[in-house]
């Protein structure tokens, strides 16, 4: 079951089939899809969001294999601005997209924080992995800002073609330490870093 989640600025609501109508025009843009897995068809079908939600996402949610949210600003809760998915599996555990007008505001980073908490602390998984194109600098920056690190580089097929991809990973222990560090004041963080240098 996918729960309602929230951050300082966002509401994360469980995906519903009725969300497809809003999703379609936001998602069906080259700048949104080009770095997604090549299973996404391009050109995107006129009913692509509806078909994907009906035939792929929602059945996976029912089977307990996937957790899907739409993202909405708290001050405009009826407007979908993006989506995030968590997926049970060995190699790909997360995917997300954010509509162009709302990018570069730190919103997806907020969503990643709260869904990482859910992945590790509620679902109890030990590791989260997310492959992404090396040239997808915006997505890579989100991974960096949320404590992930690169564990491998491979060739992957994306909508934009075959290109190098990095496998980003974070374990439950690493996430909890990152969360602890991120909750410290700058002075506390500096003291922890100084202590680590003395011990190394």
Instruction: Name the CATH superfamily for 5-184.
Output: Gcn5-related N-acetyltransferase (GNAT) (3.40.630.30)
C-alpha to C-alpha distance for 79 and 73, rounded to whole angstroms = 7
Query: Residue 10: beta bridge partners?
Result: 73
Q: DSSP readout, 51-82?
A: HHIIIIIHHHHHTTSEEEEEEEETTEEEEEEE
Q: Are 107 and 142 in contact (CB under 8 A)?
A: no
Sequence-ordered strand ranges (E) for 134-180: 149-158, 161-171
pLDDT digits 0-9 by tens, 39-73: 999 999 999 999 999 999 999 999 999 999 999 99
Which residues, including other chains, have CB under 8 Å from residue 9's CB and lie 6 or more apart?
73, 74, 107, 110
At residue 189, the pLDDT reads: 36
At residue 174, the pLDDT reads: 98
At residue 200, the pLDDT reads: 43
Question: What are 109's two structure tokens?
Answer: 């980073």
At residue 73, the pLDDT reads: 98
When pLDDT is cut at 50, 70 and 90, the band that residue 187 belongs to is very low
At residue 183, the pLDDT reads: 81
Considering the chain, what is the average pLDDT of its residues?
A: 93
């Amino acid at each position: 079951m996918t729960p309602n989640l929230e951050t300082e600025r966002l509401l994360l609501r469980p995906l519903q089939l009725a969300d497809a109508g809003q999703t379609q025009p936001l998602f069906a843009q080259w700048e949104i899809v080009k770095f997604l897995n090549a299973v996404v068809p391009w050109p995107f079908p006129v009913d692509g969001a509806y078909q994907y939600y009906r035939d792929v996402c929602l059945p996976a949610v029912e089977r307990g294999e996937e957790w899907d949210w739409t993202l909405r600003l708290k001050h405009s809760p009826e407007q979908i601005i993006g989506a995030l998915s968590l997926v049970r599996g060995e190699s790909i555990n997360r995917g997300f997209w954010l509509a162009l007008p709302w990018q570069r505001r730190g919103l997806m980073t907020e969503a990643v924080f709260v869904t990482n908490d859910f992945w590790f602390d509620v679902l109890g998984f030990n590791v989260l992995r997310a492959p992404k194109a090396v040239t997808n600098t915006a997505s890579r920056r989100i991974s960096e800002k949320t404590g992930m690190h690169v564990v491998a580089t491979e060739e992957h097929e994306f909508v934009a073609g075959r290109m190098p991809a990095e496998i980003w990973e974070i374990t439950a222990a690493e996430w909890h330490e990152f969360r602890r560090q991120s909750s410290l004041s700058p002075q506390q963080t500096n003291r922890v870093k100084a202590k680590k240098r003395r011990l190394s």
